[in-house]
Structure 1
Amino acid sequence: MSINYIDISPLPMLNTDLEIDRKYPQSFTTFRDQILQSDDFLFASPEYNYFVTAPLKNAINWASRPLNVWADKAATIVSVGGGFGGGRS
């Protein structure tokens, strides 16, 4: 088993207007290629307002745009925080 860290910090905020002419930023293409090359995922995020953090939600949204590159991929979520221990994120 090997674990590769995927840096989501270069991703801009999701902008579906870019889909009209398919003028996606390079960070989008790189990110989606990394997901396609992976077998499964470990999401690690503190609970933030009963959800995952905004940068992680943004990354999930970018990858779920057509064609959804998360499809048929296994995932595990690790979280902590609040009185419920991160269970709401």
Structure 2
Amino acid sequence: MNFHRVSHLNHQDVRITELTVHSYEMGRYLAEVDFDGRRGFIVDDNNKPQQFQSINALKDALHSCTVHRAYLVHQSAYDEMCGASEKVDNTLKVPLVL
């Protein structure tokens, strides 16, 4: 499994093909990066997925590199309500401007 660190990505010569920001748990975000043909999550010093408190915190962390495409992805829990029809993919993927 590939992973990336902010310290390796945040340089002027780094070109990120795609950044996917996964939204979960009330204002916590995980970042998945496609860089140099390797897709993986940004991890912290303990090799655990690094959590960001806001989109702006992620923007600040990656302020020096170039991001070609960015998306915010959110999956709603509302499909788990009683009496709802069978589970369907309710993923919302919205383009982000960084």
TM-score under structure 1 length normalisation:
0.37
Q: Which has the higher helix share?
A: 1
Q: Which has the higher strand share?
A: 2
Q: Which has the larger radius of gyration?
A: 2
Question: Taking CA–CA contacts closer than 8 Å with sequence separation of 6 or more, which of the two structures ends up with the larger relative contact order?
Answer: 1
TM-score under structure 2 length normalisation:
0.35
